[in-house]
Amino acid sequence: MSNVYYFNVNYCCNNNCEFCLSHNTYNATGQNYDIKKLSELSYDFNKSRIIINGGEPTLYKDLNKFIDFFKGSNAEIVMYSNGRLFSDFDYAKNVVSAGVSRITIPLHGTRYIHNKITGVDSYDETISAFKNLIKLKKDYALTIELKLILNNEIIKNKLTCAQLLKDIDIDGIDNIVVSRVIETEKYKPKLDNYIIIFANDIIRYAGNKCVKIEDFNLCQFFTNEIPYITDLESFDEFYFFDAKTPNGEKDNYEKKTHCDKRGSHPLCEYCNSIMDNYYIICKKGNKWFKIME
């Protein structure tokens, strides 16, 4: 049995993103996952996926010990981070050498847009993080994932992938994720038909790289050709852990979709976002797959 184990290791962050679901985490000490609880868990982590998130996981003081715990389990260790602390090469090397398999870092736009969205002067550190991680790929088995989150500023300025990624060495990036801002009490995205242009631009720009699509209704992407979609991977069960539920809670894949064309489109059976269903759609070469994150 191979499962997905999702850990929110803390509830604090060094960004203050406009769309964040947890604004109270900014510059807060927050709660942290008790690493001693790991030794009490009876789960079989062999060949499973360990997802590390926060808050901002790089602020978790026991991060390397946490990663090291899973070293002997042949697990894929995935981290979602804003990347800012990876601008320190030695810090980045310590985390990567601890055994992280994949790191996903969001880029919210040009320098002005990225800093506006994150609420702090974070752009240069984020760009430096990508540069450092790309250097580390020479010595470590690391997958680097760049996440572009479609926001109002990108839509208003009709920005292209080339404009957004001008400071990134795209050859060193393995996967590109395209996502949309989730509506929160503080942030109201004004999505329009530009998302179709945006997504298709990313697919063209990425070439043969893996492109992942999440948080969108898929009928907004495919107007002429409906691709054949198959499972690239599958997992048996999904478990969620955080400071409040350190022993984990089993979660259910089957949740509601927010698509208003439900049942009337050929892609409806695939049209659940990661926030609803944990599955996303990815394109590798000319083939489309349903994968689990």
SS3 call for 257:
coil
Q: What percent of the chain has pLDDT over 70?
A: 83
Q: Which of 50-64, 121-135, 203-217, 235-249 has the lowest mean pLDDT?
A: 203-217
DSSP state of 72: G
Tell me the pLDDT band of 204, cut-offs 50, 70 and 90. confident
Question: Whole-number mean pLDDT of the chain?
Answer: 85
47-51, 64-68, 209-213, 267-271 — which is least confidently predicted? Answer: 267-271
Question: What is the 3 state secondary structure string of 17-56?
Answer: CCCCCCHHHECCCCCECCHHHHHHCCCCCCCCEEEEECCC
Which residue from 31, 33, 13, 32 is spatially nearest to 21, judged by alpha carbons?
A: 13
Angle subtended at Cα 88 by Cα 23 and Cα 148, rounded to the nearest 5 degrees = 50
What does pTM read for this prediction? 0.91
The residue-averaged pLDDT of 202-211 equals: 85
Output the pLDDT for position 174.
95
Q: Which strands make up the sheet holding 4-8, listed edge to edge?
A: 229-231, 287-292, 279-284, 210-213, 175-180, 143-150, 102-107, 76-80, 49-53, 4-8, 238-242, 249-251
Residue 275: predicted pLDDT: 43
Q: What does the pLDDT average to over 35-59?
A: 93
pLDDT at 50 over 50: yes
* 268 vs 256, higher pLDDT: 268
Task: Return the exposure string of 234-261: e unless at least 16 CB atoms fall within 10 Å of the residue's CB, then b.
Answer: ebeebbebbbeebebeeeeeeeebebee
Residue 43 has pLDDT above 60, yes or no: yes
In whole angstroms, what is the distance from residue 45 CA to residue 271 CA?
29
* pLDDT for position 52: 97
Of 127 and 220, the structure prediction assigns the larger pLDDT to 127
Q: Which domains does the chain have, with CATH numbers?
A: 4-216+243-251 (3.20.20.70)
Distance, CA of 243 to CA of 31 (rounded, Å): 6
Return all residues near 174 (Cβ < 8 A) that are at least 6 apart: 143, 144, 145, 209, 210
Amino acid present at 25: T
172 pLDDT band, cuts 50/70/90, is very high
